[in-house]
Amino acid sequence: MEMNRFADLHSHVLYGVDDGAKTPKEALKMMKMAYANNTRVLCLTPHYNPRMTEESLENSLLIYKVLMKYAEEKMPDMTLILGSEIFYHNDFAKSIQQGKCYTLGESRYVLVEFSPLESHFVIQKAMNKIFAEGYIPVLAHVEKYKSLREIKRVEDLAAMGVVIQANASSVVDEIAADTKKYIRALLKKKLIHIISSDGHNLLDRAPLLGEAADYVSDHFDEDYAQKLFYQNPIRVLMDKKIKTVGIG
Ligand SMILES: [Fe+2]
């Protein structure tokens, strides 16, 4: 059975603030594309890195309002949520409290990324700190980190309660064979909890989930696909607990 609605927790559709959509026109086209692909909840998660981000919060809110207005007019059953993809830094909690970046939909969940070369020790320590500060980490694009290619390390993170996110393109696109193999091994062990688009543009990093959802439904199971592409992202936005180990 095909899924008829998706919740995309990670995208760069908010235009003009990072390496995602450049113009209002591109952002609107991306929204249309996501909508046609059955996305009904779209989280806008611009990068936040205190060393790089210059954008003001007011500006992001303004752009968010422009996109919301467009959604209301053209796709009334689409929900847009503002969040951030936070590059981990020691003061991340302060950055959130000061309103420099956002949790996901005002929940306790934070979408967090690291340098692709970060060690698993540092990642694990950071995750502990995030929990200690009262937040729940969603690890952005697990497939990007070299040190996590050892599956046991992802298992350890899931055992801590870290929510693991992977990109839809890594499930279905023509990408490096070892990445594909890794993602499929994680799926087999149900160590991925959310699949999102991480959409940046209309071409090679598009905001699409349909093909990856079909793949998971066909090759794994439908219940798992429902969790990855809809139920778990919704649970995040509603600030409800997610089971990160022993799924299915
Ligand atoms: Fe991203």
pLDDT at 33: 98
Flag residues of the chain having pLDDT under 70: 1, 54-55, 248
Neighbours of ion ligand 1 (CB under 5 A): 85, 198
For domain 6-237, the CATH superfamily is Metal-dependent hydrolases (3.20.20.140)
pLDDT at 1: 57
120 CA to centre of ligand 1 in angstroms: 20
pLDDT at 51: 87
88 CA to centre of ligand 1 in angstroms: 13
Take residue 233 and report the two structure tokens written for it: 């992202």
121 CA to centre of ligand 1 in angstroms: 22
81 CA to centre of ligand 1 in angstroms: 15
45 CA to centre of ligand 1 in angstroms: 7
So where are the chain's domains?
6-237
103 CA to centre of ligand 1 in angstroms: 14
